[in-house]
Structure 1
Amino acid sequence: MKKLLLILCAACAAWSCAPKEEAAQKRLYMWFDCEANFALSNSPDSIRFYLEKCRQAGFTDAVVDVKSIMGETVYKSEYAPFMYEWDGVPRSEEYDVLGHFIRIGHELGMRVHGSLNIFAGGHNFFDRGIIYDDHADWQSMVSTPEGIVPISTIKTNYNGMLNPADPEVRAYELDILREFATKYPEADGIIFDRARFDDITSDFSPLSKRLFEQYIGAEVARFPEDILYWEKDDKGEWKWAEGPLFGRWIEWRAGVIKSFVEESHAALKAINPDLLVGDYTGAWYPTYYYVGVNWASTQFDPAEYFDWATPEYRKTGYADLLDIYMTGLYYTLVTKEEVDRANGAVGQRTEAGMTDEQSYWYCVEGGAEWARKLTCGVVPVIGSLYVEQYEGDAPQFSRAVAEALRSTDGLMIFDVAHIIKRDWWQPLAEGVAAADAR
């Protein structure tokens, strides 16, 4: 694997995917998470204050989280439960958060997008969400060394994810997406978040087994061992290993996600052809198959570079369907030079699908380079940063902002709450100015 990665890094400049011509203006997106900003968003005056702060910092767009990881919506829905309270702060169903954001944002000349956590259905730290209420049967079933268990029982993982292959889950989420597009015709876009499986260890439900067997046209004799099994390493620690059907399995999972993106794209554009359809994923593509997602263009063939990709895996790419692609450059290292200086030191790995590889894509510059090459110019790539990773190091955050903005078609900051908490408006502005100065 490592040899293949080195070959791929060296071949970046020679790849045949032509880069998309850059837009005249790069867009800057500020994300408003619905949980972290619940109290902040409870007043139109507060919304205006922080949107004005964003506009003064040069931000052109706001992304407002309207469907939480619990599966609750911040607007009154016919399908999803209403997010009536968070951290002791109540909210009335009559209060239209996104409506206020759209009205005020448009007054300020900003675009406003809604974000929905697609296949998320619970917060395992609070035992809250649709998998704890009416839809326990929709939750992911996870392979562990002790056997296959419901994801709600794994309290080390806060994400109570659903099974994206379940037809009932997919129909439910499509209904919510259609409802959003109908309810908010003035919204500029919709951004998918968590449109994925939980991790490489899910979903191993009887339903997924049947659907996979239909896909390959054969029965799986040993489930899940023919796909994934557990063994102890030299240190006595449990590690998952690949079974003989692993390659077909990850191909099937990526196809499940692509087909949902296809259905969603068609449904949303049928309601509002002008609605921008976007997606937010992690940038670590060489291991992102763990969560069943191929965010590359179909012009890129991963089978030429990775031993985990089947010849058919290329067809599961969905970048060509998107109007916006936000790539999570969740790295504390900013440049490839910093990776070299790290001398193989292991960095912090916090997100689903990450490994401890210390390679060039584990920095802002290298991750951005990969994202643009893999998407082949079919969609604007927005370099996205997780502010909390730079805790205590505002100068490094400024450098990351500048690099992400220089190296991609725009910038997304996750999240405004982290900027407010640290009062990092000045480091943010400095990073934006440094990018403009180059």
Structure 2
Amino acid sequence: MKKLLLLCLAALAATACSHKETAQPAKPLYMWFDCEANYARMSNPDSIRYYAEKLRDLGFTDMVVDVKSIMGETLYKSDIAPYMGEWNGTTRPEEYDMLAYFIRIGHELGLRVHGSLNVFAGGHNFFDRGIIYGEHADWQSQVYTEGRIVPISSIKSNYNGMLNPANPEVQEYELAILREFAEKYPDVDGIIFDRVRFDDITSDFSPLSKELFEAYAGEKVAAFPEDILRWEQDAEGKWSWSEGPLFRRWIEWRASVIKGFVAEAHKQLKAINPDLLVGDYTGAWYPTYYYVGVNWASEQFDPAQYFDWATPEYYKTGYADLLDIYMTGLYYTLVTKAEVDAANGVVGQRTEAGMTDDQSYWYCIEGGAEWARRITAGVVPVTGSLYVDQYGDDAERFTRAVAEALRGTDGLMIFDIVHIIDRDWWSVLAEGIAEGSKQAEPTQHI
């Protein structure tokens, strides 16, 4: 009953209309709080209240609070995962329950609060820190790159020390953390999964993954890993990969691993708290998101009709139907399809896992939003998500991006509040929200 009241209050606070007879509630606005970037700032309840009030005054309805880092450490006292009691010189006692403060303050202000957990992440390779650098070194991804298989902790150009999602021990460990979270925070409004994926197309090539794939495919891999992925080096020393004969079945298997985990997590979380909203963040670049083993589509969408990498059975690995919230990462600097047409080979920043240098409508906010809504087939609201740091100091482009993402989807997520604070872009953000929230004039009936 309390949660229902909070949802009603938040909806009323966010309602905006220009004509009483056509009043419609505004779309939800989510602000993300990254655990590392905001560690020092959010180590004081007064600071949490200050920013929660700023967000409420801007019309935000939801806060997403990162409580499990890419190192596998939690920002609350856990009986399973190590506690993140220090970052960049700032320390916190285990008794400091940041999320509890967010929930209490957020609910007082009529804001929903969601906990975000990096699921299959276990280390920060730039700092040699995390569970893959301790007792769970054997859980880390084994990466097949440039013709050799190496542990991901040895690749210092990649800060993500990812786990192997196919490992049953890893899955049970992460499910136990999710269950503990749901039991510890019965008043939290939602949980948002992040990094429920493989590291990239190069992982995981461990003996265990080979064994699990062979069981799934019903056949032995004669030449591993070459029957799946092949690496070649040209005369100039540049490496490139190509598909082996079992590649398409392999990526189907990887997507089935992620789908199976999401289904089990959904079942277990809802058994603990049926009112808990289950959400997920992924990148929006679906044509290459199979690189990270994820099919965020609805089962109603058949990718085999559009993409030659998808098997006839690939559609069964879609998991959008299991979600209450879906955040699609429109992490592009090109805003409209017209900008793609005029780009003349300029593709904008491509910094995220699974991205390519393709110049297409997928890689702009307008086109990406259209495709995300088509792919999810209406089974879950699509929240257009922006990465503020990609815009540098270009406030005008960011304003247009906010407006386009909000217009083109069912809501808006901003990653991350630290970039708004550092740039002092509160008014810039407000301008984009106002522009994107404008409703068309109602039809005049005579």
With the shorter chain as reference, the TM-score category is over 0.9
Q: Which residue of 2 aligns with 1:175?
A: 176
The answer to whether the Cα contact below 8 Å between 1:298 and 1:314 also exists between their aligned partners in 2 is yes
Q: Which residue of 2 aligns with 1:385?
A: 386
Q: Which residue of 1 aligns with 2:239?
A: 238
In structure 2, the residue corresponding to 1:430 is in which secondary structure? Answer: helix
Cα deviation, 1:12-53, whole Å, max 9, x if unaligned, reads xxxxxxxxxxx8431000000000000111000000001111
Measured in 2, the distance between the counterparts of 1:313 and 1:171 equals 25
1:225-264 alignment, distance < 5 Å: 225-233=226-234, 236-264=237-265
Q: Which residue of 1 aligns with 2:78?
A: 77
Cα deviation, 1:35-91, whole Å, max 9, x if unaligned, reads 000011100000000111111111100000000000000000010000010000000
1:54-73 alignment, distance < 5 Å: 54-73=55-74
- TM-score, length-normalised on structure 1? 0.94
The answer to whether the Cα contact below 8 Å between 2:334 and 2:364 also exists between their aligned partners in 1 is yes
Aligned-residue CA RMSD (Å): 0.9
Q: Which runs of 5+ in 2 are unaligned?
A: 1-23, 440-446
Q: Which residue of 1 aligns with 2:44?
A: 43
Cα deviation, 1:297-348, whole Å, max 9, x if unaligned, reads 0000000110000001000000000000000000001000011110232322
The yes-or-no answer on 1:191 pairing with 2:192 is: yes
Measured in 2, the distance between the counterparts of 1:221 and 1:194 equals 31
Q: Which residue of 2 aligns with 1:201?
A: 202
The yes-or-no answer on 1:406 pairing with 2:407 is: yes
- Report the alpha carbon displacement of residue 146 of structure 1 after superposing the two structures with TM: 4.3
The answer to whether the Cα contact below 8 Å between 2:258 and 2:293 also exists between their aligned partners in 1 is yes
Q: Residue type of the partner of 1:264?
A: A
Q: Which residue of 2 aligns with 1:278?
A: 279
Q: Which residue of 1 aligns with 2:87?
A: 86
The yes-or-no answer on 1:341 pairing with 2:342 is: yes
Cα deviation, 1:214-242, whole Å, max 9, x if unaligned, reads 01111101110000010135754101110
The answer to whether the Cα contact below 8 Å between 1:333 and 1:364 also exists between their aligned partners in 2 is yes
Cα deviation, 1:88-107, whole Å, max 9, x if unaligned, reads 00000000000000000000
Work out the number of aligned pairs and report it: 416
Measured in 1, the distance between the counterparts of 2:335 and 2:218 equals 46
Q: Which residue of 1 aligns with 2:421?
A: 420
The answer to whether the Cα contact below 8 Å between 2:114 and 2:189 also exists between their aligned partners in 1 is yes
In structure 2, the residue corresponding to 1:83 is in which secondary structure? Answer: coil
Q: Residue type of the partner of 1:143?
A: Y
Q: Residue type of the partner of 2:292?
A: V
Cα deviation, 1:109-134, whole Å, max 9, x if unaligned, reads 00000000000000000000000011
1:293-308 alignment, distance < 5 Å: 293-308=294-309
- Report the alpha carbon displacement of residue 435 of structure 1 after superposing the two structures with TM: 1.0
Q: Residue type of the partner of 2:341?
A: D
Q: Residue type of the partner of 1:61?
A: D
The yes-or-no answer on 1:27 pairing with 2:9 is: no
- TM-score, length-normalised on structure 2? 0.92
Measured in 2, the distance between the counterparts of 1:411 and 1:49 equals 21
- Report the alpha carbon displacement of residue 436 of structure 1 after superposing the two structures with TM: 1.8
Q: Which residue of 2 aligns with 1:110?
A: 111
1:110-149 alignment, distance < 5 Å: 110-149=111-150
Q: Residue type of the partner of 1:239?
A: S
In structure 1, the residue corresponding to 2:66 is in which secondary structure? Answer: strand
Q: Residue type of the partner of 1:376?
A: A
Cα deviation, 1:279-303, whole Å, max 9, x if unaligned, reads 0000000000000000000000000
The answer to whether the Cα contact below 8 Å between 1:301 and 1:314 also exists between their aligned partners in 2 is yes
The yes-or-no answer on 1:288 pairing with 2:285 is: no
Q: Residue type of the partner of 1:204?
A: F
- Report the alpha carbon displacement of residue 168 of structure 1 after superposing the two structures with TM: 0.3
1:352-391 alignment, distance < 5 Å: 352-391=353-392
Q: Percent identity?
A: 77
In structure 1, the residue corresponding to 2:82 is in which secondary structure? Answer: coil
Measured in 2, the distance between the counterparts of 1:248 and 1:191 equals 29
Q: Residue type of the partner of 2:144?
A: S
Cα deviation, 1:177-227, whole Å, max 9, x if unaligned, reads 000000000000000000000000000000000000001111101110000
The answer to whether the Cα contact below 8 Å between 2:301 and 2:315 also exists between their aligned partners in 1 is yes
- Report the alpha carbon displacement of residue 363 of structure 1 after superposing the two structures with TM: 0.5
**Change in 2 beyond 3 A, CA 1:234/1:401:** farther
Q: Residue type of the partner of 1:330?
A: Y
Structure 1 range deviating more: 236-245 or 85-94: 236-245
The answer to whether the Cα contact below 8 Å between 1:347 and 1:358 also exists between their aligned partners in 2 is no
Measured in 1, the distance between the counterparts of 2:352 and 2:138 equals 25
Q: Which runs of 5+ in 1 are unaligned?
A: 1-22
Measured in 2, the distance between the counterparts of 1:393 and 1:345 equals 17
In structure 2, the residue corresponding to 1:41 is in which secondary structure? Answer: coil
